[in-house]
């Protein structure tokens, strides 16, 4: 017997796994709750009837809040692919405001949405290989057996548009994604997709019909009536049409309480492992009063960073903050740092004998140390490529390799303070630039990352092709429009009057609509940085035994 009261938002409590039931509403005749079993092997399709969009959104948000309240805090991840999240899902928007991407991730750009769905299809194929290797039936079984740490993914699209690549990938996820721990949830409007060309319309309808056959369907009308159609149960599901359940409408206070409980649980969650799908997450400050982190690697599709600003704008302090936060968030077995200051030798002087630091150079200007370290990275890229190839089909990235390897590979980070000083000192500038381009191109899938600072981008020795590969742009105060345009690759002048301890963060290829004005955390004095690093040395007193890094 199910105690339906436990499925109210106020009574939802954490469980060992994902909740096996969803509360969809209450019956109009006797106020009895409608509880539906969720086996998570199929996607969910919500069909919004005429004037029923608000009821559909409320039902979907209610179900997602149930999942977040009842699941282990690291057991599921929700990505909402919609530009209107604030208006349609206020509780989810509040969660994102308070926790960044930790509970709910939002993607609003249509090109990025299409790319993200394609990445989920690739992830599903990699997971299929791992399930076959582990001889387990589905991803939730893998989680229960503690064979993996990657959470179940809920991919929410509150609307579709005429993109055939998107539709084809969604069809593949609806057919098999649930078994692989990637659960698509799509809201179809009325009509769902509209084309002017009849042939295209017919093709789109055929894809949507395949999706309907694979999904659990919930049809919502303007009065809150709900029709549940489950292809797996056939006509039995049609019985629910006669009961006409009404979608729950929790009071705003209940939503606020649910949000607060989720936030409190997430604060107790340890950082995601480097082998996870999001790569590394580096807390650096706050955005509109909420914690803000930078993401590098994994599904973020952002692998390298370029920091720029005028003299004394805080570039060195930001690199020190990034290095410190990486070491605080991840153990030496997962993150290795290569630190180069070819400017004055002081930028990373306090990081010596830190277990995370594989290599530290504190030379004076013109030492030429960048060339040999790039050669080391090139050799490591070859080694990692060989390991991935030997691992078998479906293993094409560091994330995929680390999911099953008995000895996971750590991510390497090359931090260079003043990249122009390092490039200027090279004996063979042509060879150095080619090695650098190779690192930026091949390092993306191999867990090899570059983070550089530059005082000037308009006349930098770091050419435009390299800057384009460094998709995470962090602008401190910029000197003029030409410098800003050289950094972002397009006109974007928002950083010209940036105050101290603020940065303009952009991962949208310089598009001003992707600007984020971030308040940076600050280590104001050298003693504060020294104390933080001493605490890390006490926490990790011994360097890990390194495998042969470039055999």
The answer on pLDDT for 545 being more than 50 is: no
Residues with Cβ within 8 Å of 221's Cβ and at least 6 positions away in sequence, in order, are 49, 50, 52, 55, 227
For residue 530, pLDDT over 80 is answered with: yes
Which of 216-220, 275-279, 360-364, 466-470 has maximum average pLDDT?
A: 466-470
What pLDDT score does 421 carry? 87
106 within 8 A of 96, measured Cβ to Cβ: yes
Q: Are both 40-266 and 280-539 of the same fold? A: yes
Query: Higher confidence at residue 136 or residue 153?
Result: 153
Is residue 85 within 8 A of residue 108, CB to CB? The reply is yes
**Domain locations along the chain:** 40-266, 280-539
Which of 14-18, 156-160, 295-299, 497-501 has the lowest average pLDDT?
A: 14-18
Other CB atoms within 10 A of residue 190 CB: 11
Is 311 annotated in a binding site? The answer is yes
Give 61-98 pLDDT, tens digit per residue: 888 888 888 887 667 888 998 855 446 788 888 887 77
Tokens of 315: 């570039």
Pairing of strands 44-48, 182-188: parallel
Band (pLDDT 50/70/90 cuts) for residue 526 is low
Q: Kindly tell me if the per-residue pLDDT of 298 is higher than 70.
A: yes
Write out the DSSP string of 134-186. Answer: HT-SSHHHHHHTTS--PPEEEEEES---S-HHHHHHHHHHHHHTTTTTEEEEE
- Mind listing the pLDDT tens digit for each residue in 431-468? 888 889 999 998 888 999 999 999 888 888 888 889 99
Name the nearest CA neighbour of 100 among 282, 274, 296, 325: 282
Percent of the chain with pLDDT over 70: 82
What tokens does 460 get? Answer: 């930098």
* The domain made up of 280-539 is a member of CATH 3.90.1150.10: no
Burial zone of 318 (CB within 10 Å; 0-12 exposed, 13-18 middle, 19+ buried): buried
Tell me what the pLDDT averaged over the chain comes to: 80
Q: Say whether 282 counts as a known binding-site residue.
A: no
Above 80 in pLDDT, residue 542? no
Given a cut of 90, whether residue 318 has pLDDT beyond it is yes
pLDDT at 245: 61
Non-local (6+) Cβ contacts of 461 within 8 A are: 419, 420, 423, 424, 429, 433
Any binding-site annotation on 309?
Answer: yes
Smallest Cα–Cα separation from 412: which of 278, 270, 300, 296? 296
End-to-end C-alpha distance for the chain, whole angstroms: 60
**Is residue 228 within 8 Å of 240, Cβ to Cβ?**
yes
Between 139 and 487, name the one with better pLDDT. Answer: 487
φ and ψ at residue 515, rounded to 5 degrees: -65, 135
For range 200-214, the mean pLDDT: 87
Which pLDDT score, from 0 to 100, does residue 268 have?
58
Residue 236 has what pLDDT?
44
User: Does residue 541 have a pLDDT over 80?
Assistant: no
- pLDDT tens for 487-519 read 998 888 888 888 888 999 999 888 888 889 999
pLDDT digits (tens, 9 = 90+) for 28-57: 666 777 777 777 888 999 888 767 888 888
In this predicted structure, what is the pLDDT of residue 17?
74
The DSSP call for residue 271 is P
Query: pTM score, two decimals?
Result: 0.55
Say what the pLDDT of residue 273 is: 35
**What tens digit of pLDDT does each residue of 164-178 get?**
889 999 999 999 988
- Give the per-residue pLDDT at 173: 94
Percentages of the chain per state (helix, strand, coil), in multiples of 5:
40, 20, 40
40-266 CATH: 3.40.50.300
The DSSP letter of residue 193 is: -
315 is in an annotated binding site: yes
- Return left, alpha or beta for 501; rule: phi > 0 is left, psi -120 to 50 is alpha, else beta: left
Q: In what order do the strands lie in the sheet with 33-37?
A: 33-37, 21-27, 245-247
Q: Is 473 annotated as a binding residue?
A: no
């Amino acid at each position: 017997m199910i105690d339906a009261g436990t499925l109210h938002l106020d009574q939802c409590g954490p469980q060992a796994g994902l909740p096996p039931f969803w509360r969809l509403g209450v019956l109009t005749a006797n106020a009895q709750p409608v509880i539906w079993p969720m086996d998570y092997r199929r996607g969910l399709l919500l069909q919004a009837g005429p004037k029923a969009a608000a009821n559909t959104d409320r039902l979907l948000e209610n179900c997602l809040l149930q999942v977040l309240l009842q699941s282990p805090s690291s057991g599921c991840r929700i990505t909402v692919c919609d530009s209107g999240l604030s208006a349609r899902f206020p509780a989810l928007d509040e969660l994102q405001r308070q926790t960044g991407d930790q509970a709910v991730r939002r993607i609003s750009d249509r090109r990025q949405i299409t790319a993200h769905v394609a990445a989920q299809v690739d992830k599903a194929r990699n997971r299929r290989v791992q399930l076959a290797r582990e001889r387990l039936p589905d991803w939730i079984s893998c989680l229960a057996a503690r064979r993996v740490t990657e959470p179940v993914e809920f991919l929410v699209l509150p609307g579709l548009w005429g993109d055939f690549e998107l539709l084809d990938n969604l069809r593949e996820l609806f057919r098999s994604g649930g078994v692989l721990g990637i659960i698509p949830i799509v809201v179809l409007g009325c009509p769902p997709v509209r084309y002017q060309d009849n042939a295209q319309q017919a093709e789109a309808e055929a894809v949507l019909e395949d999706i309907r056959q694979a999904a659990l369907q919930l049809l919502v009308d303007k009065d809150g009536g709900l029709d549940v159609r489950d292809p797996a149960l056939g006509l039995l599901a049609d019985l629910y049409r006669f009961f006409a359940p009404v979608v729950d409408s929790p009071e705003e206070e209940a939503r606020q309480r649910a949000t607060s409980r989720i936030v409190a649980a997430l604060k107790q969650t340890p950082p995601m492992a480097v082998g996870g799908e999001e790569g590394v997450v580096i807390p650096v400050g706050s955005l509109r009063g909420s914690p803000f982190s930078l993401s590098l690697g994994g599904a973020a599709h952002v692998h390298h960073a370029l920091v720029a600003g005028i003299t004394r704008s805080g570039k060195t302090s930001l690199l020190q903050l990034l290095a410190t936060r990486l070491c605080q968030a991840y153990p030496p077995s997962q993150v290795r740092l290569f630190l180069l200051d070819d400017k004055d030798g002081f930028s990373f002087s306090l990081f010596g004998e830190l277990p995370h630091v594989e290599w530290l150079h504190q030379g004076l200007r013109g030492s030429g140390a960048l060339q040999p370290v790039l050669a080391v990275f090139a050799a490591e890229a070859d080694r990692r490529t060989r390991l991935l190839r030997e691992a078998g089909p479906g293993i094409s990235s560091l994330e995929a390799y680390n999911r099953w390897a008995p000895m996971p590979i750590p991510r390497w980070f090359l931090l260079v303070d003043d990249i122009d000083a390092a490039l200027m000192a090279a004996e063979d500038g042509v060879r150095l630039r080619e090695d650098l381009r190779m690192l930026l191109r091949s390092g993306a899938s191999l867990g090899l990352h570059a983070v550089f600072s530059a005082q000037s981008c308009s006349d930098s020795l770091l050419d435009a092709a390299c800057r384009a590969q460094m998709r995470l742009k962090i602008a401190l105060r910029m000197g003029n429009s030409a410098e800003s345009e050289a950094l972002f690759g397009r006109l974007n002048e928002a950083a010209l009057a940036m105050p101290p301890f603020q940065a303009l963060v952009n991962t949208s290829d310089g598009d001003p609509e992707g600007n984020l004005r971030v308040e940076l955390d600050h280590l104001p004095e050298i003693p504060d940085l020294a104390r933080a690093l001493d605490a890390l040395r006490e926490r990790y007193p011994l360097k890990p035994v390194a495998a042969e890094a470039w055999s």
